[in-house]
């Protein structure tokens, strides 16, 4: 084995991205010099953005039905398989749902993780990486994640850690589980790339964008648009200080649920960001004031799709839509919120590149 690995370079590997969406994870690997052969996702509306920005093939396929032979055929070099299995069953935003209801409603989602495991076993990639929410570790008493890791350990050395994307230059609090599995030994995620006093801020990411009013798109950037607000919602955001939320409001603006003793459960809604802080986790509902702390730091509106994409560390020139394609805000917000932040993806790719360099014994890669 040692002889076969000597002078192995990351350029000798190709990547296939499962659950690729619009390509956040793929783009991070491409920016780090990896060849990405393909991305696979069930949602056909992701195809344009994925292929346009990544020079890789988009395969519209249900992972639960994907044949291992098809997946193997997509690789052109040694195999690195990466992915971000859908995480809704394990999200903190679904915690109010009973455990039994979660199991019933999301059984198919769990099976996708099983499908991921089966594909790994049958395709036999050299290296695997998975990004997901950290709640997966403990969900259902940890059995789902433990089974996944146990299946990998039959062939691989498995390592995993929980990290915050803000430590890798992403301007948001986004805690994620990063897992690696390698035939060649343990893979370690690179140390944080920014210090605790130098996090990238909301101001640095979106502060230079031109102002827009709620419901009115910028004439030169159709993604730079936020939802139209009712008069009541406008009064509410006007009453919200930077970093604050509904508790800032006078009583006549509060919802009935906020006035109940259980109102403390709704801390993370109708909030406004701070300029010189990181953003909250960008979700699939990130353009709605009532869905989180998604109010603009200074303008009386929720963040725009463009601002959400920048806070997810997508490059400004990333193309999300065909020139004449109708913009469906809910679809694009879902695509952006589901994506792996590009800067976090780069950290994952760098970790794998360093691992390959270490196992090959080469002094440069």
Are residues 119 and 72 in contact, defined by beta-carbon separation less than 8 angstroms? no
Residues linked to residue 132 through DSSP beta bridges, in sequence order: 177
Residue 362 burial class via C-beta count within 10 angstroms: exposed 0-12, middle 13-18, buried 19 and up? middle
Q: What is the mean pLDDT of the chain?
A: 89
- Which parts of the chain fold into alpha helices (H)? 2-5, 24-31, 47-54, 68-74, 99-105, 107-123, 143-152, 202-206, 231-238, 256-259, 305-311, 329-338, 342-360
- What confidence score (pLDDT) does residue 264 get? 53
pTM (predicted TM-score) = 0.91
Check pLDDT > 80 for residue 180.
Answer: yes
236-269, pLDDT tens digit by residue? 999 999 999 888 888 888 877 655 555 455 556 7
Are residues 112 and 85 in contact, defined by beta-carbon separation less than 8 angstroms? yes
CATH class held by domain 202-338 = alpha beta
| Alpha-carbon gap, residue 10 to 22, rounded angstroms | 24
Computed on alpha carbons and rounded to an integer, the radius of gyration of the chain in Å comes to 21
Report the pLDDT averaged over residues 161-181: 97
CA–centroid distance for 285 within its chain: 13
Q: Choose the catalytic residue: 20, 46, 84, 87.
A: 87
Residues linked to residue 162 through DSSP beta bridges, in sequence order: 177
Q: Which of 126-135, 150-159, 202-211, 355-364 bottoms out in mean pLDDT, i.e. has the lowest?
A: 355-364
| Every domain of the chain and the residues it spans | 2-194+342-360, 202-338
Which tokens in the block code for residue 110?
Answer: 């769990």
24-74, pLDDT tens digit by residue? 999 999 999 999 999 999 999 999 999 999 999 999 999 989 999 999 999
Are residues 168 and 193 in contact, defined by beta-carbon separation less than 8 angstroms? yes
What homologous superfamily does CATH list for 2-194+342-360? Answer: Vaccinia Virus protein VP39 (3.40.50.150)
Residue 246 burial class via C-beta count within 10 angstroms: exposed 0-12, middle 13-18, buried 19 and up? buried
- DSSP assignment of 131-192, as one string? EE-GGGGTGGGGHHHHHHHHHHTTTSEEEEEEEEGGGGT-SB--EEEEEEEETTS---PPPP
Q: Crossing angle, helix 143-152 and helix 107-123, to 10 degrees?
A: 10
Check pLDDT > 70 for residue 223.
Answer: yes
State the pairing for strand pair 157-164/175-182: antiparallel
Q: Which of 204-213, 221-230, 254-263 bottoms out in mean pLDDT, i.e. has the lowest?
A: 254-263
- What confidence score (pLDDT) does residue 153 get? 96
87 included as an active-site residue:
yes
Alpha-carbon torsion, ordered 14, 151, 64, 72, to 10 deg: 30
Which tokens in the block code for residue 224?
Answer: 């730079």
Higher pLDDT, 25 or 99: 25
């Amino acid at each position: 084995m040692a002889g076969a690995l000597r002078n192995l370079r990351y350029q000798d590997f190709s990547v296939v991205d499962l659950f690729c969406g619009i390509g956040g994870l793929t783009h991070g690997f491409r920016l780090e010099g990896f060849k990405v052969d393909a991305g696979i996702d069930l949602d056909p509306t992701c195809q344009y953005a994925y292929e346009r920005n990544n020079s890789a093939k988009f395969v519209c396929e249900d992972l639960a039905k994907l044949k291992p032979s098809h997946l193997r055929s997509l690789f052109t070099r040694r195999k690195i398989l990466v992915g971000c299995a859908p995480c809704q069953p394990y999200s903190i935003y679904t915690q109010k749902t009973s455990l039994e209801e979660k199991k019933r409603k999301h059984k198919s989602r769990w099976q996708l993780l099983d499908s991921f495991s089966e594909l790994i076993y049958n395709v036999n990639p050299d290296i695997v990486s998975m990004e997901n929410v950290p709640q997966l570790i403990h969900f259902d008493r940890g059995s789902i994640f433990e089974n996944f890791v146990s299946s990998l350990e039959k062939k691989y050395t498995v390592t995993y850690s929980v990290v915050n994307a803000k430590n890798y230059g992403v301007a948001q609090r986004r805690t994620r589980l990063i897992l690696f599995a390698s035939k060649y030994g343990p893979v370690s995620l690179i140390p944080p790339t920014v210090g605790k006093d130098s996090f990238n801020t909301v101001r640095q990411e979106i502060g230079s964008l031109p102002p827009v009013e709620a419901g009115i798109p910028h004439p030169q950037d159709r993604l730079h648009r936020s939802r139209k607000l009712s008069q009541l919602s406008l009064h509410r955001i006007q009453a919200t200080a930077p970093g604050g939320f509904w508790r800032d409001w006078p009583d006549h603006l509060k919802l009935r649920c906020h006035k109940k003793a259980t109102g403390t459960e709704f801390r993370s809604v109708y909030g406004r960001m701070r300029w010189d802080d990181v953003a909250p986790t960008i979700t699939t509902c990130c353009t709605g004031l009532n869905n989180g702390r998604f109010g603009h730091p200074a303008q009386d509106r929720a963040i725009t799709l463009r601002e959400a994409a920048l806070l997810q560390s997508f490059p400004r020139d990333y193309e999300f839509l065909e020139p004449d394609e109708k913009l469906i805000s809910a679809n694009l917000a879902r695509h952006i919120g589901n994506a792996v932040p590009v800067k976090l993806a780069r950290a994952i790719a760098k970790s794998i590149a360093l691992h390959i360099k270490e196992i090959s014994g080469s002094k440069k890669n």
